[in-house]
Structure 1
Amino acid sequence: MYTTVTFPGICIAWGLIVMAMIYTVGHISGAHFNPAVTITFTALRTFPVKEAPLYIVAQLVGATFGSGVLYLLLNPKPEQFYGTTPVGSDIQSFVLEIIISFLLMFVISGASADTRAIGELGGLAVGATILIACLAAGPISGASMNPARSIGPAIVMHNYKALWAYIFGPVIGMLAGGFTYKLIKFTDKPSQDLIAEAVGTFFIMFIGCGSIVGNMMHSTVTFPGICTAWGLVVTAMVYAVAHISGAHFNPAVTITFTALGKFPLKEAPLYILSQLVGAIFGSGVLYLLLNPKPEQFYGTIPVGSVIQSFVLEIIISFLLMFVISGAFADTRAIGELGGIAIGATILLSCLTAGPISGASMNPARSIGPAIIMHNYKALWAYIFGPVIGMLAGGFTYKLIKFSDNPSQDVTKNSTFLKNI
């Protein structure tokens, strides 16, 4: 009909409508909207078994009526099917649906259902997760994550191609995601922290790099879409596990917090190892699933000179650590919004530096794809650049924080901070 919305716009629509509905009726029904979510909460014994069938029927009725009204209103042609069908193989889409549904349920469990989390921002984290899953997996599987989302259009438009993948994939993925989070939640420290760091880094890599590969294969995600995926996946994972592990996901962050005396030295090596394992596994699973060509490398390599990228990585890593220190780690700040500030910083750094250096800011983000795809070009710049930049950013913030310079008071009295 029209070609104005663009693929990133479609992903934004999916993410924001779920977020809006969560904040609208979450306090009434729990805002499942998804048979796989209801099945998982029932299996986890956090939802009554006797109510589950009616919830699922209500979700399917809503999805079918919504799809039907849309069909009657716009009368799309058969080739304008608005359900979900695989672009690649059925098995590829099935596995992809399992993975992104795992991620969604993991975020729901951590950011929305865990009483230790910032529950008020759970809807934002869930909406962001749907948006980024759509950006990363949408070009390949359609990014359903919800049997009702696929069943409704299938019934209305009589297109049942590979529907099984969109029914069983989300259910399997969400059950796995829900029980994995439960395992982490009730595991003793430090194993609890290490698993959370590994899982978080895995999904940051899978979604961020997946958006890159999806764009190279199908040219739909766009560069701003890739940047959005990187920023929002970090925001989602921060709200999912920050209350468990601190949500480092980055060896340079762990090194900086250790150097600042904010993190135990004896735990740092295992944290870094967990992050590297998560990054390598995330890169590896993506490679096995999508089988990109050598020229579709989803790591980081300089577009200009190596030194230029090295300096750029130092600068943007300085910025990221400065924001982490001020918006997230400083007890005087509005800590609940720290995840948004961090994700926004990554997104903006990607927009600014991505075309030149790739905007790594994270040694694990560069090491994982380098190992999997055997491309080590200028890897040193993406290891030492972020470490140097974050150490500088962290110590600069510490210097400002403990400075007796009266300019701090002048700044505070001239900004919104005077109201805090």
Structure 2
Amino acid sequence: MTLQKKFLGELISECIAVVIIVLMGDSSAAMFFLYDPSPYKTAYWGLCIVWGLSVTTAIYVTGAVSGTHANPAVTLSLAIFRGFSWRKVPFYMAAQVVGGVIGAAGVYTLFAPVIDHFAAAHNIDRLHDGAAAGVFFTHPGDFVTPLHSFVVQIILTGLLLLGIFAITYEYNTMAPQANSSALMIGLLVAGIGASAGFLDGWAINPARDFGPRLFCYFAGWGTSALPSPGNYWWVPIAGPLIGGVAGAGIYQTLIRPFIPRNAPVVAVSSTDQSV
């Protein structure tokens, strides 16, 4: 296989990984927001589990090809701390955002009639009221300002990358063995959502938020999507990028140096295969 073909396969895999995450995750958000009674309003953990399983599924489908970064914050952190090629970084990030757009288009295809009914039933529209926008991208929750949400995104994505770097470090004997790491990363995503998701939708992934936001801008939501109320659009991009690097850095500087470097006893997880 030529290097060009291999790289193309990596980009396709990154795109498909985010398609899977957004298609499953945003569809569960549609079930949460658009139906009354909602199957998740009284069982929020179910929504979190779907998001987590979407990540697990994406890793199992694409990990052997690209390593399933599926998140610009992961790609940036791997480039800084684990030798991932800087040349690939912008291409991986672009493929991830494209995956977010395609995934959102798939969710819209599935739920368009329900979205229209929801808007009509509540006498709201997409452009002025952002009807059903929460299905596709995130917003600050009750009592949360955009600036506070920025801090939330830094902390939550820091926790995500701290966990991912621990789970995928080959000398960490406490990490899950073999391919069970994909499940643990999914459970980590679910756990973050269950503990703090109501604050601002726990984007923790710029592509997962900006891709659907970009789709919605052209699908009738307009300024409700970009720049969004309170000019919020940049928060789920900058916060995760900063937080991801911070969390990965904490692991690399405060935990990793103290782990004995004996013979590796765990297989490298799919999220780390490309480095």
Band of TM-score, shorter chain: 0.7 to 0.9
- Alpha-carbon distance in 2 for matches of 1:369, 1:243: 26
Match of 1:391 among 245, 255, 273: 245
Structure whose alpha-carbon radius of gyration is higher: 1
Percent identity between matched residues is 29
1:326-356: CA deviation from partner (whole Å, max 9, x where unpaired) = 1024443435232122111110111122111
**In the alignment, is the contact (CA less than 8 A) between 1:251 and 1:362 conserved in 2?**
yes
Match of 1:230 among 51, 56, 62: 51
- Alpha-carbon distance in 2 for matches of 1:370, 1:306: 16
Match of 1:206 among 23, 29, 33: 23
**In the alignment, is the contact (CA less than 8 A) between 2:20 and 2:57 conserved in 1?**
no
State the 1:402 CA deviation: 4.8
**In the alignment, is the contact (CA less than 8 A) between 1:255 and 1:268 conserved in 2?**
yes
- Alpha-carbon distance in 2 for matches of 1:207, 1:237: 10
- Alpha-carbon distance in 2 for matches of 1:242, 1:329: 16
- Alpha-carbon distance in 1 for matches of 2:102, 2:149: 26
- Alpha-carbon distance in 2 for matches of 1:290, 1:368: 18
Match of 1:342 among 144, 162, 185: 185
- Alpha-carbon distance in 1 for matches of 2:139, 2:190: 18
- Alpha-carbon distance in 2 for matches of 1:212, 1:226: 7
**In the alignment, is the contact (CA less than 8 A) between 1:318 and 1:393 conserved in 2?**
yes
1:17-65: CA deviation from partner (whole Å, max 9, x where unpaired) = xxxxxxxxxxxxxxxxxxxxxxxxxxxxxxxxxxxxxxxxxxxxxxxxx
Q: Look up the SS of the partner of 1:384 in the other structure.
A: helix
Counterpart position of 2:78: 257
- Alpha-carbon distance in 2 for matches of 1:236, 1:353: 23
- Alpha-carbon distance in 2 for matches of 1:201, 1:329: 23
TM-score, normalising length from structure 2? 0.75
Counterpart position of 2:167: 327
Greater RCO, CA 8 A, separation 6+: 2
**In the alignment, is the contact (CA less than 8 A) between 1:328 and 1:339 conserved in 2?**
no
The reply to whether residue 221 of structure 1 matches residue 61 of structure 2 is no
Counterpart position of 1:287: 108
The reply to whether residue 296 of structure 1 matches residue 138 of structure 2 is no
State the 1:322 CA deviation: 0.7
State the 1:373 CA deviation: 2.1
**In the alignment, is the contact (CA less than 8 A) between 2:140 and 2:200 conserved in 1?**
yes
Q: In the superposition, relative to structure 1, how do residues 250 and 216 fare at CA in structure 2: closer, same or farther (>3 Å)?
A: same
One-letter code aligned to 2:154: I
Q: In the superposition, relative to structure 1, how do residues 348 and 334 fare at CA in structure 2: closer, same or farther (>3 Å)?
A: closer
Counterpart position of 2:14: 197
1:227-282: CA deviation from partner (whole Å, max 9, x where unpaired) = 11101110122122212110100011101111114211111111111101110111
- Alpha-carbon distance in 2 for matches of 1:224, 1:383: 25
**Equivalences, count:** 222
**In the alignment, is the contact (CA less than 8 A) between 1:328 and 1:335 conserved in 2?**
no
The reply to whether residue 317 of structure 1 matches residue 138 of structure 2 is no
* RMSD of equivalent CA atoms: 2.2
Within a 5 Å distance, the mapping from 1:240-251 to structure 2 comes to 240-251=61-72
- Alpha-carbon distance in 1 for matches of 2:96, 2:250: 25
1:70-94: CA deviation from partner (whole Å, max 9, x where unpaired) = xxxxxxxxxxxxxxxxxxxxxxxxx
State the 1:199 CA deviation: 0.9
One-letter code aligned to 1:210: S
Q: Which runs of 4+ in 1 moved over 3 A?
A: 329-335, 401-404
**In the alignment, is the contact (CA less than 8 A) between 1:329 and 1:335 conserved in 2?**
no
- Alpha-carbon distance in 2 for matches of 1:274, 1:369: 13
One-letter code aligned to 1:264: S
**In the alignment, is the contact (CA less than 8 A) between 1:323 and 1:341 conserved in 2?**
no
- Alpha-carbon distance in 2 for matches of 1:329, 1:280: 31
Within a 5 Å distance, the mapping from 1:3-402 to structure 2 comes to 188-218=5-35, 219-222=38-41, 223-291=44-112, 292=115, 293=119, 294=126, 295-297=131-133, 298=135, 299-303=137-141, 304-332=144-172, 333-336=175-178, 337-374=180-217, 375-376=225-226, 377=228, 378-402=232-256
